[in-house]
Amino acid sequence: MTMKSFFREINFTLIARIIGFLLIIEAVFMLSVVPVGWYYHGYQSYAMLIAAVTTLVSGLLMFLFNRKTTNILGKREGYIIVTLSWIITSFYGALPFYLAGDIPSFTDAFFETMSGFTTTGSSILTDIESFPKDLLFWRSLTHWLGGMGIIVLSVAILPMLGIGGMQLFMAEMPGITYDKLHPRITSTAKRLWGIYVLLTLLQFLFLWAGEMDWFDAINHSFATMATGGFSTRNSSVAAFGSYSQYVMIVFMILAGTNFTLHYFALHGRLKQVFKDEEYRGYLLLIFLSTIIITIGLILADNGSWELHFREALFTVVSILTTTGFVTVNYLNWPVFLYMIIFLLMFVGGSAGSTGGGMKVVRQMLLIKNSWMELKRSIHLNAVLPVKFNNKSVPQDIIYKVMAFFLMYILIFAFGVLALSALGLNFETSVGASIASLGNIGPGIGLVGPIDNYAFMPDAAKWVLSAMMMLGRLELFTVLMLFSPHFWRK
């Protein structure tokens, strides 16, 4: 293939136009943060305004100079747009931190922003409470925008590419499908966005009604609904009382739930919600993990049972949904208990939620398939299909789940090796890798719940930024770009 035919085969002008449009949207949200800076700090800082104008001009140039293009979006364009959009929006999103001088290293600024947009919540900040309010607001807003982006990714891009969690386990399988929500993708996205905004507003009101001021309430609402984890306090949610923590537990559970189920619940279809096997498995995992850890904490320390229950429930929900807020240093628990937390890092939220990780439904299908394989080895002639939601799961979906699991473990192992080669100890390498790939935030070792990523070498931060994006975009969206077959006609 000649270079000319290569550019003709892939619609790069449309790719540039769409990314330009995304930058315009990002610039608008940056501009919305400017009044926050003026309110708290007066007019002395123009970093946010300069960053917003730079992003807006770049977006307009890309959008307007690529008007002469066909609006045909193929699979290859979809892969490229999804991957580049996360990289480019993170690049421009890092400008406010860098231009203000509060994060003088661009590597650190990019890491913080990628962590925000991928809803990971890993941070290089060592004193959050001294950070400018407008930059803290932008930091939380990157979470919220990233969560909105994941909804679009789930209902628009990934189904087209045939790799998305919601598409694999909802659209292709009998049972709950998007056709029952709305036949048009744009209408579906708008409905799910509406639910996202509604839940954010409700959480804000509940938190504001308690001990939080409006700034803390809106920032923590942004981070919760995106399952992000950025806080405005050095001690994270431990800075607040039991009321705020219980409110956040409820909304973390909602954020880690398939948003289609929220739509059904709002329309009175509760029976359909509780019939969903993934949802039942998700709640059961929270219940069992919380009970085991609570009992373990009570046996290890004769303190308040309510405190132990709240710490256990908050930590389980925060890690399982990949939100990453903390109220306690779980590394100080008995080893058996914090190993439960470590194992939950490999599970993640529900498909179709803003949560990261492998997703509950994938883990359930892996377990079911393993059980069926055991039965097949005993009953050699029996036909024993894997069933989910009382329907047989097509074998190609089982293969995709197994491929995803294998690739996930391989990338995790690569991350551990890369970080170890850069001088980190084994426990920290393991913790940072799973926390980044699973979009969790806190891990184990030197990146535990009361630590941060500031001490890491720049190379490690770039490795972890890549792992955050890989995990957030369901691996294959990014990895496909490195396949020679992708670039052939």
Task: Identify whether 335 is part of a domain.
Answer: no
Q: Which domain holds residue 53?
A: 1-92
pLDDT (0 to 100) of residue 36? 92
* pLDDT score of 250 more than 60: yes
Q: Are strands 387-388 and 391-392 parallel, antiparallel or unpaired?
A: antiparallel
Q: How many domains does the chain fold into? A: 1
Whether 17 shows a pLDDT value over 70: the answer reads: yes
Confidence of residue 166 (pLDDT cuts 50, 70, 90): very low
Contact 391, 173 (CB under 8 A): yes
Q: pLDDT tens for residues 82-133?
A: 889 899 999 999 999 999 999 999 999 999 999 999 999 999 999 999 999 9
86 found inside a domain: yes
> What type of residue sits at position 80?
I
User: pLDDT above 90 covers what percent of the chain?
Assistant: 65
- The per-residue pLDDT for 185 is 63
| pLDDT the model gives residue 79 | 82
Q: Residue 133 has what pLDDT?
A: 94
Least confident of 164-178, 275-289, 325-339: 164-178
pLDDT class for 69, splitting at 50, 70, 90?
low
Answer whether residue 285 is part of any domain: no
Q: What share of the chain is helix, strand, coil (3-state, %, to 5)?
A: 70, 0, 30
Q: Evaluate whether residue 29 is within a structural domain.
A: yes
Q: How many CB atoms lie within 10 A of CB 68?
A: 7
Which residues lie below 8 Å from residue 94, measured CB to CB, with a gap of 6+?
103, 106, 109, 110, 112, 113
Residue 178 has pLDDT above 80, yes or no: no
Distance CA 449, CA 331 (A): 8
Q: What confidence tens digit (pLDDT) does each residue in 190-213 have?
A: 788 889 999 999 999 999 999 999
> Among 181-190, 253-262, 407-416, 438-447, which is the least confidently predicted range?
181-190
Answer whether residue 245 shows pLDDT above 70.
yes
**From residue 402, how far is each of 79, 320, 390 by CA, in Å?**
21, 21, 21
> Which residues lie closer than 8 Å to 153 by C-beta, 6 or more apart?
82, 164, 473
> What confidence score (pLDDT) does residue 173 get?
31
Residue 438 domain flag: no
Q: Across-strand partners of 388?
A: 391
Residue for token pair 């509604």 = 198
At 485 the pLDDT is 81
Is 74 within a domain?
A: yes
The position carrying tokens 């806190």 is 442
User: pLDDT category, 8, cuts 50, 70, 90?
Assistant: low
Provide the pLDDT for residue 483: 84
In the numeric block, which tokens belong to residue 341?
């937390």
Taking 60 as the threshold, does the pLDDT of residue 258 lie above it?
A: yes
Rg (CA), the chain: 22
pLDDT at 318 over 90: yes
Nearest to 309 by CA among 291, 323, 287, 330: 291
* pLDDT over 90 (residue 474): no
Residue 165 is predicted with a pLDDT of 40
SS (H, E, C) 232-247: CCCCHHHHCCHHHHHH
Q: Look at residue 174 and tell me whether its pLDDT is greater than 50.
A: no
Inside any domain, residue 71: yes
* Residue 342 counted as domain residue: no
